[in-house]
């Protein structure tokens, strides 16, 4: 067994997350296998395109449990280490790209809440980001301009540097009001007026319900709403670049929830918003900005109600007709995740075995031959190798390790070799569309079965 040490906090997060069938926030580098080509393509986007002032749009396609959320989380962690600001959110019935009940605004709020930086990787970093920026400007005024904080000119010098930053955004859509709010935050900081600082943060987080309320608090005539939230995300991308970061990367997962919307108009409105974002990025209207969307093949390829039912999206996202079999083109907007090979899953289980032993302080007794035997049993009893997903295999394997660790007299063969051992059945795709999983809006009076044909 390798003597590599893993902090207890990280090993706990990895084991608990994998046991629950979810992607851990930290420690992914210890268990990542395969996906090298996909990782390199996504890292090229942020290192060579976004960091140089461009923008990128990617859609990661993978069936349930195939690792699309894992890949998004891995790239998220890499982006943080490369000094990008990162935001992430899952789509749901209440968080969409747009909606009649502020679902788009809810998505914006979720993204802001989950804003993360290298020093604040767990989210909630936006207010700390502003404080750090102001502190850095004050340090520069003292060091470069030679003005002490007690000097009457100190405040004006800091104010001038802040204005030099925010003025660059005034030509962008809603840039003037955004600049006004950032300046209001600084003046609240300068004067010790916490009320003004909180008002500015409320506006930036999209928490004002009316324009009148915002005008009374900050003197601005607009607020972040369902129709404008994406414009403010672009402003934030420019802003974080101007204050010292390399850019902004946002991850939007569970896009299948758009596919499940029962109301045709609502669903198409969300597809239209996705098209707007795609066009905006590809036409060079955004800078220092990347969007990564996690979706399922059915959600994209269904020509009746998926993205490909929207002709403008189909022609933009569809893969090249020359990319077939082993010929892949990872430069396009859509990255399709292939099933991990048996060898890659074998290596993954080796790493899980090692982390489990390090976490609980024992030398694992499960051998490589036993891991191979376990995988063969799983494949045989499931009966369809293409349904073998890392999520279910890892959960079963961890359950075996837990039982052996807690029951020292129990051997691996006692568990896996017994007739009562049954691997977790993948069964129906939980992200597939059924009458039970379809999302029916409260203002949609149509039957939930309307979209289904016998």
Please say if the pLDDT value at position 322 is more than 70.
no
Residue 303 to residue 401: CA distance in whole angstroms? 44
Top-confidence residue, 176 or 109: 109
As given in the structure block, the two tokens for residue 51 are 């960091």
What confidence score (pLDDT) does residue 291 get?
A: 97
pLDDT band at 232; cut points 50, 70, 90? very high
Residue 394 to residue 249: CA distance in whole angstroms? 29
What confidence score (pLDDT) does residue 381 get?
A: 62
What confidence score (pLDDT) does residue 446 get?
A: 44
Strand ranges for 407-448 from DSSP E: none
The model's pLDDT over 424-450, given as tens digits with 9 standing for 90+, comes to 655 455 555 665 567 776 555 444 444
Please say if the pLDDT value at position 276 is more than 90.
yes
What confidence score (pLDDT) does residue 432 get?
A: 59
Q: How far is CA 206 from CA 90, 167, 178, 227, 230, in A?
A: 18, 21, 12, 12, 12
Q: pTM, whole model, 2 decimals?
A: 0.85
Task: Assign domain 35-117+245-336 to a CATH class.
Answer: alpha beta
Are 308 and 268 in contact by the 8 Å Cβ rule? The answer is no
Q: What is the percent of the chain where pLDDT is above 90?
A: 43
- Residue spans of the domains in the chain: they are 1-34+340-420, 35-117+245-336, 126-218
What confidence score (pLDDT) does residue 181 get?
A: 92
The model's pLDDT over 46-91, given as tens digits with 9 standing for 90+, comes to 999 999 999 999 999 988 777 888 899 999 999 999 999 999 999 9
Residue 181 to residue 232: CA distance in whole angstroms? 12
Q: HEC string of 142-162?
A: HHHCCCCCCCCCHHHHHHHHH
CA angle 185, 189, 192 (to 5 degrees): 130
What confidence score (pLDDT) does residue 211 get?
A: 92
Please say if the pLDDT value at position 401 is more than 70.
yes
As given in the structure block, the two tokens for residue 348 are 């993954």
As given in the structure block, the two tokens for residue 243 are 């204050």
As given in the structure block, the two tokens for residue 76 are 């998220």
Residue 333 to residue 56: CA distance in whole angstroms? 8
Please say if the pLDDT value at position 277 is more than 50.
yes
Q: Which residue has the tokens 């075995």?
A: 353
pLDDT band at 364; cut points 50, 70, 90? confident
pLDDT band at 213; cut points 50, 70, 90? very high
């Amino acid at each position: 067994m390798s003597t590599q040490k893993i902090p207890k906090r990280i090993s706990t997060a990895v084991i608990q997350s994998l046991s629950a069938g979810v992607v851990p926030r930290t420690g992914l580098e210890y268990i990542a296998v395969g996906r090298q080509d996909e990782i390199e393509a996504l890292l090229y986007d942020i290192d060579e395109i976004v960091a140089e002032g461009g923008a990128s749009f990617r859609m990661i396609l993978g069936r349930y449990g195939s690792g699309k959320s894992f890949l998004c989380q891995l790239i998220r962690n890499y982006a943080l280490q490369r000094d990008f600001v990162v935001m992430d959110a899952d789509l749901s019935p209440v968080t969409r790209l747009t909606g009649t009940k502020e679902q788009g605004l809810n998505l914006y709020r979720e993204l802001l809440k989950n804003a993360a930086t290298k020093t604040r990787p767990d989210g909630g970093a936006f207010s700390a980001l502003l404080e750090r920026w102001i502190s850095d400007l004050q340090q520069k005024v003292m060091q470069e301009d030679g003005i002490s904080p007690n000097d009457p000119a100190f405040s004006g010098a800091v104010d001038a540097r802040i204005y030099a930053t925010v003025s660059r955004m005034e030509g962008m859509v809603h840039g003037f009001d955004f600049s006004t709010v950032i300046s209001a935050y600084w003046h609240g900081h300068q004067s010790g007026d916490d009320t003004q600082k909180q008002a500015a943060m409320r506006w930036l987080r999209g928490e004002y319900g009316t324009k009148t309320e915002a005008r009374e608090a900050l003197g601005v005539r607009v607020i972040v709403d369902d129709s404008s939230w994406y414009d403010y995300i672009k402003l934030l991308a420019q802003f974080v670049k101007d204050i010292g970061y390399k850019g902004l990367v946002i991850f939007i997962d569970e896009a299948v929830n758009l596919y499940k919307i029962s109301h045709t108009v609502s669903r198409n409105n969300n597809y239209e918003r996705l098209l707007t974002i795609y066009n905006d990025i590809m036409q060079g209207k955004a800078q220092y900005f990347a969007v990564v969307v996690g979706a399922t093949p059915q959600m994209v390829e269904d020509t009746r109600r998926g993205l490909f039912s929207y002709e403008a999206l189909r022609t933009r996202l569809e893969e090249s007709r020359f990319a077939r079999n082993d010929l892949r083109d990872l430069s396009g907007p859509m990255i399709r995740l292939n099933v991990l090979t048996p060898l890659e899953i074998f290596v993954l289980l080796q790493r899980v075995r090692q982390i489990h032993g390090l976490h609980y302080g024992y030398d694992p007794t499960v051998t490589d031959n036993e891991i191979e035997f376990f995988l063969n049993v799983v494949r045989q009893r499931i009966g369809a190798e293409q349904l073998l997903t890392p999520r279910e295999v890892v959960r079963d394997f961890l359950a075996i390790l837990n039982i052996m660790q807690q029951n020292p007299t129990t051997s691996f063969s006692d568990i896996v070799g017994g007739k009562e051992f049954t691997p977790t059945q993948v069964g129906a795709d939980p992200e597939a569309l059924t009458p039970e999983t379809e999302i029916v809006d409260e203002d949609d009076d149509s039957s939930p079965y309307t979209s289904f044909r016998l």
